[in-house]
Structure 1
């Protein structure tokens, strides 16, 4: 099993967490997004979407991180990322998809680069953009968590939701977002930080991280 990804990519980060939670061993293959390696002809033969991550298993290539999370749970059912109960499964998917679809699209690297280099926005303006979308989505997620009375984890143990949440909390702190209005999210964050799977997957501990 080989994970083609980038050390600070949120989608690569979520897969590192999931693989660690499931106790699956894998080799990391760094794809340097800042060097545009994801757009190279060689990489596009591997992943025609031209992004990260791509998971290589037994000669097959799997792309799109949310689909890979579901595939991992079906292919390796031990230590499930999704609960058995249908309503709980919906709760996990609802919150995970809110973050994956409402945050990743406007905040990924190509969008931020377009805002800066093509549209001429300053870094301060881009930071405002970033904080706006983080707050807008986190408000809905926080409200849902409050309705459920969520504790350290959404459903008592970390799973798909936490895999998707933690990279965006990492990004939120990188961009100095005010998280004071999100006590349920930061409570889950604190619990995840103490979990070895999340610690091992953290961007700052990846071998490819620049010194």
Structure 2
């Protein structure tokens, strides 16, 4: 993949975990922009995120974290915006101000209204304080509420993708959230036809398929 002379100095490093939806959306951004990077696994189940060496990279002890030379960024939204400004083609935000705002809205609904509620630390805490059934109810409620809001937000502006016929910021967040909901939490997306249509479109693109959790270096090997 092409690089300018400045970018050839060192590959970007992405610290991530195969099942992290936040890491997943960053991988899609990197793939869309044709950026080569080194994938460095951080096993959240084994507590690698609290390793002192990783805590120096991200004191919050979360993934993903991107290292670009001396630049270190440890929030998926911030990472994606950084990549979009440094590697502007293809753009992740439309020029139209209304569509741009819709992309920010959709991304925010997921990054603040859904994903945190299914975070590993949160659902572990809920299960410890209550039980496994209540944990599942908590996750289902957060995803259902978020998907209902997204469906209403996008129903009149979606094309092949969330805000038209080009992949933008919202699609990175929606694709990964739906994938997590369907694969990890067994939630049916059929009640949300706009989201379901977008998800079908994502599955037709190699940049989305190559970025799914199961295809990452640290994903468990499937057993027959």
Q: If the TM-score is normalised by the length of the shorter chain, which range does it land in?
A: over 0.9
Residue 205 of structure 1 deviates from its aligned partner by 0.9
Equivalent residue number for residue 57 of structure 2: 46
Equivalent residue number for residue 157 of structure 1: 166
SS in 1 for 2:197: helix
Normalising by structure 1, we get a TM-score of: 0.95
Unaligned runs of 5+ in 2: 1-11
Checking the alignment, whether the CA contact within 8 Å between 1:46 and 1:61 is kept in structure 2 is yes
Whole-Å Cα distance in 2 between the matches of residues 57 and 179 of structure 1? 36
Equivalent residue number for residue 206 of structure 1: 216
Equivalent residue number for residue 91 of structure 1: 102
Checking the alignment, whether the CA contact within 8 Å between 2:17 and 2:43 is kept in structure 1 is yes
The one of 19, 22, 32 equivalent to 1:8 is 19
SS in 2 for 1:180: coil
Residue 100 of structure 1 deviates from its aligned partner by 0.9
Equivalent residue number for residue 137 of structure 1: 146
Which structure would you say has the larger RCO, counting Cα contacts within 8 Å and 6 or more residues apart? Answer: 1
The one of 54, 64, 81 equivalent to 2:92 is 81
Equivalent residue number for residue 137 of structure 2: 128
Residue 39 of structure 1 deviates from its aligned partner by 1.2
Equivalent residue number for residue 146 of structure 1: 155
CA displacement 1:139-166 (0-9 Å, x = unmatched): 0100111132x12202211121111111
The one of 167, 182, 186 equivalent to 2:196 is 186
Residue 59 of structure 1 deviates from its aligned partner by 2.8
Checking the alignment, whether the CA contact within 8 Å between 1:151 and 1:187 is kept in structure 2 is no
User: For the aligned residues, what is the CA RMSD?
Assistant: 1.1
Greater shift, 22-31 or 78-87, is seen at 78-87
Q: How many residues align?
A: 208
CA displacement 1:77-134 (0-9 Å, x = unmatched): 11111112222211111111111110112111100111123x0412x32112111110
Greater shift, 24-33 or 97-106, is seen at 97-106
Ranges of 4+ aligned residues in structure 1 off by more than 3 Å: none
Normalising by structure 2, we get a TM-score of: 0.89
